[in-house]
Amino acid sequence: MRKVAVLGAGLMGHGIAQVAARAAKCEVSLRDVRQEFLDNGMGMIRSSLQKFLDKGTISREEMNEILGRIYPTVNLREAVVDADLIIEAVPESVDIKRTVLMEVDGVAKKDAVMTSNTSSISITLLASFTRRPEKFCGMHFFNPPQLMRLVEVVKGTKTSDDTVNVVVEAAKKMGKEPVVVKKDSPGFIVNRVLVSALNEALYLVWEGVADRDEIDKAIRLGLNWPMGPLTLLDHVGLDTTLAILEVFQRELGELKYQPCPLLTQMVKTGLLGRKTGKGFYDWEKK
């Protein structure tokens, strides 16, 4: 694995690109559809690396070397044409992912492995948008990718064992701890458990059981979470959480995944969390 292409410079994509360039020391093409998105992504990478520099984890020379291995571009063909591993990290929409994956499949080299960072959409479905389903699998990083060690490697119905092995080794090279999800099930392992818990926290607010700060404090201290569920919702994105719950409800057909009305209301009013500056907390002030 010499070159990695990361498609999407947003919340997850920029972090994945940074990890591939820093830990795996790969050349990384970071692609997005608009220059302003790329500029924002590269800005977040520089900010993240500066924090590592301030803590003494990396040197100024290492920081410059990492940045020198990342090549931002709006040209999809340029990004993927010679990539060994392609990681799709575009918005959690089947239609958007279909468009991107079909275009990538047409220009990527035949032996390139294609992956998706989706947190809920069927890997088998996404693989069907390509002519190489045996070389396609899920590679689900966690937020923020620079710090979170887990990567879920998800096998689709037609994913070959060789492809799973390649992605597992790629994750290890990036300094991650991969786990293999052998059955393509909505939410895989972590989100199947986590999103249900987040939705339950939303119902606690909706029903007036306790205030925001009390709920976050209770879960931090009672379950030893590093942050409360409502803070975590702001980090993940309320729109992303809603999209995952809707997939669960559609695919699993169970009432227990009914999104809390509060979540739907907040998404409709644009209160998505950190990405918009406001959610349960005011991130512009923070």
Just list the catalytic residues: 140
Pairing assessment for the beta strands 136-141 and 113-116 based on DSSP bridges: parallel
H or E element that contains 87: strand 85-88
Distances 33 to 38, 63, 211 between C-alpha atoms, Å: 8, 26, 40
Displacement of CA 32 from its chain's centroid (Å): 15
Beta bridge partners of 29: 5, 71
Cα gap 112→129, rounded to integer Å: 15
Alpha-carbon torsion, ordered 255, 256, 261, 264, to 10 deg: -90
DSSP string, 110-140: TT-EEEE--SSS-HHHHHTTSS-GGGEEEEE
- For helices 212-223 and 229-236, what crossing angle results, to 10°? 100
Angle between helices 190-206 and 238-252 (to 10 degrees): 110
Of 72, 145, 70, 158, the C-alpha closest to 114 is 158
- Assess contact for 172 and 178: CB atoms under 8 A: yes
